[in-house]
């Protein structure tokens, strides 16, 4: 039960403009994939600087379709980060492939490019046949891009496809280029970037996702796969004067974005830069507010990146603070502050731990992070006074 006057972990900013667009879409009589989806796809491609964008019903769907379209299947290995939402590894399992986790950097919790390089130099040492390593899913955790320079270079060298999990990272930049573009890095292999418009994301459709790429062939495949694998989607079928039969090209999926989602999310794009700025300002306020507390460590942002500031994550060092992360979570919740945990390592989750026989100590950085990460409220609907309240409450419950 919510405590009166509590500050939720997340609350979206849905203005009259978004509601008006939604009503207009409903009144148009076209409710499923159609003109609003096309408009939203074009707007996202323009915003991130990609040649193409394909709307789907989640980031999970975007990643799954990218893997399928790139031919990933049984016997293949896909590398990824253990500090992520389960969807990132689940989609690899859905293809019948095997996820292999690479540990993260301690200060950013992003996939560690040096550990990746070491793995690729000798995968057999970890029981992986080099021939089977087909793709990598780097996760732009909390909105900070991974080292894409290094990841593309290693993907080129070892012949891997790259599917970016950009669920957190709409608006983020690597070396001045937006996540969702090719960063001007000239990667020649198969590549796609996958975004989420889930309820808590920087812009939201309630649920929704988008795949961006510069690869026309990949886009055509994904567009067919997202709607049952049939040759022309409903929108196109109803546009012509005479009835057109469709062909089933592949037993595809029911993953299409529909116009009500696009109508809700599209007008939010006009605010994204302003909202990102507010997220950054609040992040700085939090960082200043906690700088004197030994044992509360915020994530670091590297100098060649701009985060989307999707999450505010601090690492709670229980040895220094005398309080565990879970105890701090409970104390904050009891004071009416919404909190989250992003994320406990997938290597400690029952399914992955048991299936792949992981042991304590296999992923030391991710395992430590699992016990230390704590997310505090960060969203543009908050006011500065809300941020100050959270800082004050953290000090109070820690008794420092
Ligand atoms: C890192 C990460 N990847 C993927 C997803 C899946 O996104 P969606 O809910 O749009 O499928 C999420 C969802 O929160 C996420 O946090």
* Assigned token pair, 215: 């690869």
Handedness of CA 153, 156, 159, 165 (dihedral sign): positive
Could you tell me if the CB of 88 is within 6 A of ligand 1? yes
Q: 201 catalytic, yes or no?
A: yes
* Per-residue pLDDT at 236: 65
Residue 2 pLDDT: 60
Q: Which of 82, 86, 87 to mutate to test the pocket of ligand 1 (most atoms within 8 A of CB)?
A: 87
How many other C-beta atoms can be found within 10 angstroms of the C-beta atom of residue 194? 30
Instruction: Tell me, in angstroms, the distance from the centre of ligand 1 to residue 3's CA.
Output: 28
The reply to whether ligand 1 has any atom less than 6 angstroms from the CB of 196 is yes
Cα–Cα distance, 1 to 334 (Å, whole number) = 11
Separation CA 69–CA 95 (nearest Å)? 11
Closest by Cα among 149, 215, 197, 152 to 176: 149
For ligand 1, whether the C-beta of 310 sits within 6 Å is no
Element (H, E) at 19: helix 16-28
Residue nearest to atom 7 of ligand 1 (CA): 59
CA separation for the pair 370, 364 (Å, rounded): 10
Task: Give residue for tokens 């080099």.
Answer: 130
Q: List Cα–Cα distances, 236 to 29, 35, 359, in angstroms.
A: 16, 10, 52
Task: Tell which atom from ligand 1 comes closest to the C-alpha of 140.
Answer: 1
Cα 263 to the center of its chain, rounded Å: 21
Phi-psi region of 235 (alpha: psi -120 to 50; beta: other; left: phi over 0): alpha
- Please tell me the predicted confidence (pLDDT) of residue 234: 56
| Ligand 1 centre distance from Cα of residue 321 (Å) | 31
- Ligand 1 midpoint to CA 60 (Å): 6
Position 90 scores a pLDDT of: 98
CA of 331 to the centre of ligand 1 (A): 27
Question: Measured on CA atoms in the order 234, 239, 240, 242, is the torsion positive or negative?
Answer: positive
Say yes or no: CB of residue 168 within 6 Å of ligand 1: yes
The CB of 195 under 6 Å from ligand 1? The reply is no
Q: Is the CB of 209 under 6 A from ligand 1?
A: yes
* CA 59 to ligand 1 centroid distance, Å: 6
Q: Is 202 in the pocket of ligand 1 (CB under 6 A)?
A: no
Mean pLDDT by 10 residues, the chain (400 residues): 83 90 92 94 98 98 98 98 98 98 98 97 96 98 98 98 98 98 97 97 96 97 95 64 84 96 96 97 98 96 97 97 97 98 98 97 98 98 98 95
169 lines ligand 1 (CB under 6 A): no
Ligand 1 atom with least separation from CA of 197 = 10
Give the nearest ligand 1 atom to 196 CA.
Answer: 10
Catalytic, out of 36, 134, 178, 201: 201
Out of 66, 88, 143, 196, mutate this one to test ligand 1's pocket (max ligand atoms within 8 Å of CB): namely: 196
Q: Cβ distance 211 to 66 under 8 Å?
A: yes
Measured in angstroms, how far is the CA atom of residue 87 from the centroid of ligand 1?
6
Closest atom, ligand 1, to C-alpha of 139: 1
Nearest alpha-carbon partner for 102 in 154, 62, 177: 154
Give helix 87-94 / helix 59-69 axis angle, nearest 10°.
40
Ligand 1 pocket, 375 CB below 6 A?
A: no
């Amino acid at each position: 039960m919510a405590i009166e006057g509590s500050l939720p972990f997340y609350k979206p900013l849905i203005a009259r403009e978004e509601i008006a667009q939604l009503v207009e879409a409903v009144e148009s009589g076209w409710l499923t994939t159609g003109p609003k989806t096309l408009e939203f796809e074009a707007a996202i491609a323009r915003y991130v600087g990609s040649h193409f964008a394909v709307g789907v019903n989640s980031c999970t769907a975007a990643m799954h379709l990218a893997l399928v379209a790139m031919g990933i299947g049984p016997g293949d290995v896909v590398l990824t980060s253990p500090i992520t939402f389960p969807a990132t590894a689940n989609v690899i399992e859905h293809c019948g492939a095997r996820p292999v986790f690479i540990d993260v950097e301690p200060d950013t919790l992003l996939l560690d490019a040096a550990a990746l390089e070491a793995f690729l130099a000798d995968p057999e040492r970890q029981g992986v046949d080099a021939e089977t390593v087909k793709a990598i899913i780097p996760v732009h955790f909390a909105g900070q891009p991974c080292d894409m320079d290094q990841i593309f270079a290693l993907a080129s060298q070892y012949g891997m496809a790259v599917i970016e999990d950009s669920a957190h990272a709409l608006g983020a930049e690597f070396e001045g280029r937006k996540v969702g573009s090719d960063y001007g890095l000239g990667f020649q292999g198969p590549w796609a970037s996958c975004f989420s418009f889930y309820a808590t994301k920087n812009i939201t459709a309630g649920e929704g996702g988008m795949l961006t790429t510069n690869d026309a062939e990949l886009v055509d495949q994904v567009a067919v796969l997202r709607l049952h694998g049939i040759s022309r989607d409903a929108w196109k079928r109803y546009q012509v004067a005479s009835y057109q039969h469709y062909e089933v090209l592949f037993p595809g999926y029911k993953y299409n974005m529909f116009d009500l989602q696009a109508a809700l999310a599209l007008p939010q794009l006009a605010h994204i830069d302003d909202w990102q700025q507010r997220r950054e300002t609040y992040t700085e306020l939090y960082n200043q507010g906690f700088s004197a507390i030994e044992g509360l460590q915020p994530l670091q942002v590297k100098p060649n990146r701009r985060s989307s500031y999707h999450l505010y994550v601090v690492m709670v060092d229980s040895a220094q603070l005398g309080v565990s992360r879970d105890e701090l979570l409970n104390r904050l919740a009891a004071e009416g502050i919404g909190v989250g945990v992003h994320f406990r390592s997938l290597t400690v989750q029952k399914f992955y731990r048991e299936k792949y026989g992981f042991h304590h100590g296999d992923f030391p950085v991710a395992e430590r992070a699992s016990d230390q990460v704590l997310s505090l409220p960060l969203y543009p609907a908050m006011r500065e006074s809300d941020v100050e309240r959270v800082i004050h409450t953290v000090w109070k419950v820690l008794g420092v």
